[in-house]
Amino acid sequence: MNLVEKIGLVIAGPYSTPVAYAGDLLWLVALNYQYFTSPLMWFVCLSVAHIIINLTHLQQRKLIQNGAFGEANPETTTLIQEKATRDGIKNVICTLVTHFPVMNAFCEQKLTSCEIIVSHHWFETPEGTEHLDNILEHEFAHARAHHMIKRFLTASALFCIGLGAFLYLMTLNLFPEEHLHICNALTAFCIFRVIRFLQAWYHRTQEFEADGMALTYASPAKLAACLTFMRKHNPGEKILENIPEWARATHPYISSRIQKLLR
């Protein structure tokens, strides 16, 4: 990867999606329209709005849209319920996704419930079914640590920090009046790009933390074998390893997780 490509990754940010850019634009528009008489009022209103919108999104969102869903076998449902009871996690829902493109499992924890999502690939071979127990320990570690809620609250906290920094720079009158809006836009863009990279880094550290917490009930060798099995059945993971890990949005390389487990 050459320098130009790396600069492009920095500009795009780890969340280089239309939704991410629309979010940046929304707050930038709000900041440039002087609805309020003081920067402090801007800060309070936009920060509170961000927290409310974030928590509402957490509670209402559906991780997998327009998927084909099936019913998990009784053994898997019982296994998940036993782990939930053991960890004191209430209102657990088990969802089986059929025709899913990759082998994976997810923990979608909301404010009042927790959904464990499993792709059908785990049940295609006896080896996959055997590894399922270990990947579930990783997902339940996310639930025990309340990682999803922490992600959303951290996103709001970082937004508040970035917003405060932006408003403080505005009060310094650093830019000439004729270029004020352009300079404000560039400043906001840079600040929110830094925020997105910090947020992505935090998400990746949560994956390592969940692996470490899973070792309470799974050995490092078994969890590493499970991740190796996942990597083997996810060809796209090897392709994505061409992208620097710091540019990834939520997960580090599976190979990095394996190396850390086996140290």
Task: Tell me the C-alpha to C-alpha distance, in Å, between residue 9 and each of 121, 122, 198.
Answer: 32, 33, 14
The amino acid that residue 54 corresponds to is: N
- Contact in structure between 112 and 91 (CB atoms under 8 Å): yes
CA distance 89 to 127: 28
Answer for the pair 80, 92: CB distance below 8 angstroms, yes or no: yes
Location of each CATH 3.30.2010.10 domain in the chain:
68-144
The predicted structure's pLDDT at residue 21: 56
Q: Which CATH architecture has domain 68-144?
A: 2-Layer Sandwich (3.30)
Handedness of CA 227, 233, 237, 242 (dihedral sign): positive
The pLDDT value recorded for residue 79 is: 94
Residues of the chain with pLDDT under 50: 35
Q: To which residue do tokens 């836009």 refer?
A: 185
Supply the DSSP symbol for 2. Answer: -
pLDDT of residue 7: 64
Note the pLDDT tens digit of each residue in 190-244.
888 888 899 999 999 999 999 999 999 999 999 999 999 999 988 877 777 778 8
Give the residues across from 94 on adjacent strands.
116
Q: Are 92 and 116 in contact (CB under 8 A)?
A: yes
Looking at residue 8, what is its pLDDT? 59
The pTM for the full model equals: 0.86
Determine the pLDDT at residue 68.
Answer: 85
pLDDT confidence of residue 243: 80
pLDDT attached to residue 32: 62
Q: How far is residue 64's CA from residue 263's CA, in Å, rounded to a whole number?
A: 34
